[in-house]
Structure 1
Amino acid sequence: MCLGTALHLQWLYMAFGELPRKVNRSTALTLATSSSDTFMWMMGSSPSQLKPKPLICSSALKRTQASLAESNLKLHKIAFNSVAVMQAFTPGELAAGLKDLGLDEEVLPVQRSLGLCWNIDSDTFTFRVAVNDKPFTRRGVLSTVNSLFDLLGLVAPVTIRGRALLRELSADVHEWDTELPAEKFNKWETWKESLQDLSSLHLPRSYIQQSLSSATYTELCLFSDAYSWAIGAVAYLRVVLTKGHCRVGFVLRKAKLAPQPEPTTPCLELCGAVLAVEMAELILDELDHKPDALRFYCDSKVVLSYIHNSSERFFVYVHNRVHRIRRTTSPQQWHYVPTDQNPADLATRSVPGGHTLQTRRKWHTACPNLEVGDIVVLKQSQSPRHEWPMGLVTSTSPSGDGKVRKVEVRTTSQDKIKTFLRPISAVVLLLAKESQRSS
């Protein structure tokens, strides 16, 4: 059906109350060429909370059909997350699986777009990987690893492990059809079977469930990390709404194998920072809604010292990458994040399958703000964890974007009451105020 070429179309969501976007998860708009000059168009409107206008949307689609028809291009195989829009078209114009359905009565089938499965009913993305029995050779392993096409990096922590295994298994084998070492077969089978767990992973199609036009402040946050064998970066869009509520949505993720021979860890961390900068440039170029701020986070203080330094001279390797970073960003945009709070750490450590990705919420959701009344533990680097004091949050210090970054904590020790002002990175939430009420 498809010649293998996929073109992203731009679409304006002004009719839905949304600002126009180009290439992002919320658009879910693809155009694939076929041998008969016909087209497949899968398009999703904004979430239901945005109150899309089916009549306007279907009218825009029909105008697009007419415009393409003038060039002898037939626009059909349409799938939409709004039944009202699909009812405006004849069954022959709908996507496969939708032609003979009663749209008001039956569960709509899952649609595929660029390797992703789109569940129209829940408006979420998921994966369905068909792992066939292929020979345990370099060719068979490469075919299995490349069978999972992940354009946005939704499951990069899983796919990066597959690429690392391919490198490891074929290190001493140069022929494509020669059997790989038998002692490594179990490791390969474990990763291959874990791909079936990706069917349990469901990610919302839109960045957030509200319209970006109602946001008072938006911020693009990028995290980078590196390990001995991989580098990774992930981007989130942080949105503050009119009532001060904060929402965070996943935007893009990338993970790469470390070059061989492996550089030092600081050099790999620096490569991760460069990857984050390149991702930011790509996102800002494609996102029509320009964020109010751009922030970068890294858990390597060595890299941060490289970026903030303006007096010392570096080796050529470090100098070139620091120059690349500072060409489009300023040192003030770079911040430190503890390793255990860095979501990019998932890509460089890798995870076995979709279940782990789904349960580790830090990958695609934000931590809620600490509130007055929360019970926390104060971190103390000089003491073991079981001796860290417990306290009660008595006041919070939100910054201009609504995010709480410092809290005042009251502790009681030997009948003495003490008050501490600590950044949120120096405290650990033990029991939220809402949880105390329910218990």
Structure 2
Amino acid sequence: MYVDDVLKSCESSEKAISLINQLCELTETKGFHMTKFASNSSEVNSSIPNSELAPSLKCLDLNGSGVHHALGVKWNMGPDELKVCVDIEPKQATRRGILSAVSSIFDPLGLVSPFVLPAKRILQDLSSEDFSWDDTICHSHKVRWENWVSQLPILNDVSVPRCYKPPGFTPIDIQLHCFCDASQDGYVAVAYLRYIDANGSVHVSFVKSVSRITPKRPITVVRLELMSAVVAAELSQSIKRELDYEMCSYYFWTDSMSVLQMINNRSERFKIFVSNRIALIHSLSKVESWFHVSSELNPADVLSRGVMPKHLPKMSVWFAGPEFLKLDRSHWPKPCSVKCDDNFASEVKVNFVSTSSNEFASVFDLLKRFSCFEKLCQSVGWLLRFKAYMKWKFCSGPRPPVGNLSVDELEFAMHNVMSLVQLDSISPSLL
């Protein structure tokens, strides 16, 4: 049986040593042998037999230095940091080769998501332009691809602390802040943990980001923003399940006033696309946890648009979180009143109710069953042909045609539909 690596964080070396002993005793009872142990603590490494240490530690002095691979992520045990491996093999400039190269970047935490998004956009463009898997891509896309690949080694400098809080930092308040944003390139969310200790000191840590490529089909920006809000709500639940923290509060930030109004609205009925996503947001988060942040202060804005790897030195906000989170709450963006705008009004479901007492009421009930005028005319055309058939069968009328409806029959059906609408809507004195 194959068992993958196990990652576990402990508050102290004593707890880690105790956990290792308990785990080994438990697995030995069923015939499983635990090995390849590695820790950033020299005390923990010293308590483990040298033969059971990870290969990366056997040739070291057990001080936890060096780089260890765990679940596809590089762990630099000296400074206790996580790194992303972006060493991709050269591939042919085809759709298949580009997909293989981009997929080889294993980034479960989304540390380098803003820098990978441009490559994903190239893939989407190739797909929409009907390039087959092994076609050589055109010059414009090839230039974009080669430019991105040439900058990729810069991402090897990306690293974040493995532990969310500094050594000796004892928080009394733990908050999860999720930021979301959307553009024509992608809809995304990114989460940060905010710690506060008894002295009022604040520490902010990057947790995870999630990015989705915007579909090629036309979709409004307000709906994209709403989709990003759903991603943020789902991300918060994922983090809540995986972390052993008792969160004191959750905060969700968006720069879309339309989305805030939709989330806060309890009276209007929205179109199905919007109402389903609002219901999901309400089930995963509290309405009072949603706040507005300007695009300039929103770290998700960078992720939604994507950046080239060469801009990594300017991306400190992405890894450390926005500056206002490190300040007292009085310095956070001020709550603003949620006002109605055209984007909000366009998503409200409008119901029209009309009454009719004329002789054509039953016919209009039939017309209301169709949302496509072409299908309506086709159905009316078949009814008129059936009427002509019955006349021919029982009243010696002309024999109706057979087969598909002709152009003349469809045109005659359209005139009948328009006549019925006119009879219902226009005064008889005007006809």
Common fold by TM > 0.5? yes
For residues 368 and 318 of structure 1, do their structure 2 counterparts lie closer, same or farther at Cα, with a shift above 3 Å needed?
Answer: closer
Name which of 201, 226, 249 aligns with 1:270.
Answer: 226
Residue 68 of structure 1: how far off its partner (Å) = 1.2
Structure 1 pair 367/215, CA: closer, same or farther in 2 (3 Å)? same
Greater strand share, structure number: 1
Cα deviation, residue 243, structure 1:
0.3
Which SS does the other structure have where 1:77 is aligned? coil
Matched to 1:102, the amino acid is: D
- Corresponding position of 1:352: 308
How far apart, CA to CA, are the structure 2 residues paired with 1:153 and 1:82? 27
Instruction: Name the residue aligned to 1:64.
Output: 23
2:120 to 139, 142, 163: 163
Aligned with residue 323 of structure 1, among 267, 272, 279: 279
> Where does 1:276-287 land on structure 2 (aligned, <5 Å)?
276-287=232-243
What is aligned with 1:362?
A: 317
Residue by residue, what CA displacement relative to the aligned partner does 1:255-314 show, whole Å, maximum 9, x if unpaired?
000123031000000000011111111112222322111111100011111111122222
On the 8 A contact 1:40/1:75 being kept in 2, the answer is no
* Counterpart code for 2:20: L
Is the 8 Å Cα contact of residues 36 and 54 (structure 2) preserved in structure 1? yes
Q: How far, CA to CA, are the matches of 1:75 and 1:331 in structure 2?
A: 47
Q: Report if aligned partners of 1:109, 1:119 keep a CA contact under 8 Å in 2.
A: yes
Task: Please tell me the residue identity of whatever aligns with 2:13.
Answer: K
1:395 matched to which residue of 2? none
Partner deviation per Cα, 1:92-135 (whole Å, 9 max, x = no partner): 2111222232335xx83211122221110011111232222211
Question: 2:149 aligns to what?
Answer: 192
- Alignment counterpart, residue 172 of structure 2, candidates 216, 228, 250: 216
Provide, for residues 234-265 of structure 1, a one-character-per-residue CA deviation record: whole Å limited to 9, x for no partner: 11111111001111111111000012303100
The answer on whether the counterparts of 1:405 and 1:424 sit within 8 Å (CA) in structure 2 is no
Deviations 1:194-216 (A, max 9, x none): 2211111121111121567x322
- Spell out the pairing of 1:227-376 with structure 2 (5 A cutoff): 227-353=183-309, 356-366=311-321
C-alpha distance in structure 1 between counterparts of 2:85 and 2:218, whole Å: 34
**What secondary structure is seen at the aligned counterpart in 2 of 1:364?**
helix
Distance 2:242 2:300 in 1: 22
Given the two structures, how large is their TM-score scaled by the length of structure 1? Answer: 0.71
Higher normalized helix content (fraction of residues): 2
2:134 to 137, 152, 177: 177
Once residues 90 and 13 of structure 2 are traced to their aligned partners in structure 1, the CA distance between those partners, rounded to angstroms, is 47
How far does the alpha carbon of each residue in 1:302-336 deviate from its partner, in whole angstroms, 9 at most, with x for none?
A: 11111111222221111111111122323211110
Rounded Cα–Cα distance in structure 2 between residues aligned with 1:267 and 1:368: 28
**CA distance in 2 between partners of 1:42 and 1:75 (Å):** 13
Query: Can you list the C-alpha shifts for 1:42-98, whole angstroms capped at 9, x where unaligned?
Result: 55555xxxxx234x4223212211211222222111111012211222222111222
CA distance in 1, matches of 2:173, 2:255: 25
- Cα distance in structure 2, aligned partners of 1:143 and 1:101: 35
CA positional deviation for 1:149: 0.9
Distance 1:232 1:367, change over 3 A: closer
Alpha-carbon separation, structure 1, partners of 2:9 and 2:247: 23
Q: Tell me, which stretches of 5 or more residues in structure 1 are unaligned?
A: 1-35, 47-51, 372-397, 407-421, 426-439
Match of residue 13 from structure 2: 53
Q: Is the 8 A contact 2:5 2:70 kept in 1?
A: no
- Distance in structure 1 (CA, Å) of the matches to 2:283 and 2:44: 46
Deviates more, 1:324-333 or 1:247-256: 324-333
For residue 99 of structure 2, what is the aligned residue in structure 1?
142
Mind listing any 5+ residue stretches in structure 2 that lack a counterpart?
337-431
Task: Give SS of 2:34's match.
Answer: strand
Letter in 2 for 1:89: I
Q: 1:151 to 1:89 in 2, by over 3 A?
A: same
- Asked if 1:103 corresponds to 2:62, the answer is yes
Residue 160 of structure 1 and its aligned partner are, at CA, apart by 2.1
What one-letter code is carried by the residue in structure 2 that aligns with 1:100? C
**Rg: which structure is higher?**
2
| RMSD of Structure 2 on Structure 1 (CA) | 2.5
Between the aligned partners of 1:43 and 1:78, the Cα distance in structure 2 is 11
Alignment partners' CA distance in 2, 1:142 and 1:185:
14
Which has the higher mean CA deviation after the structures are superposed, 246-255 or 67-76?
67-76
Kept after mapping to 2: 8 A contact 1:357/1:363: no
Change (3 A) 1:294 1:38: closer
Contact 1:173 1:180 in 2 (8 A): no
Of 34, 38, 43, the match for 1:84: 43
Distance 1:267 1:37 in 2: 44
TM-score (norm 2): 0.72
Confirm whether residue 75 of structure 1 aligns to residue 75 of structure 2.
no
1: CA distance, partners of 2:329 / 2:27: 47
Aligned counterpart, 2:160? 203
Aligned to 1:403: 329
- What secondary structure does 1:259 align onto? coil
Contact 2:72–2:106 at 8 Å: present in 1 too?
yes
Number of aligned residues: 336
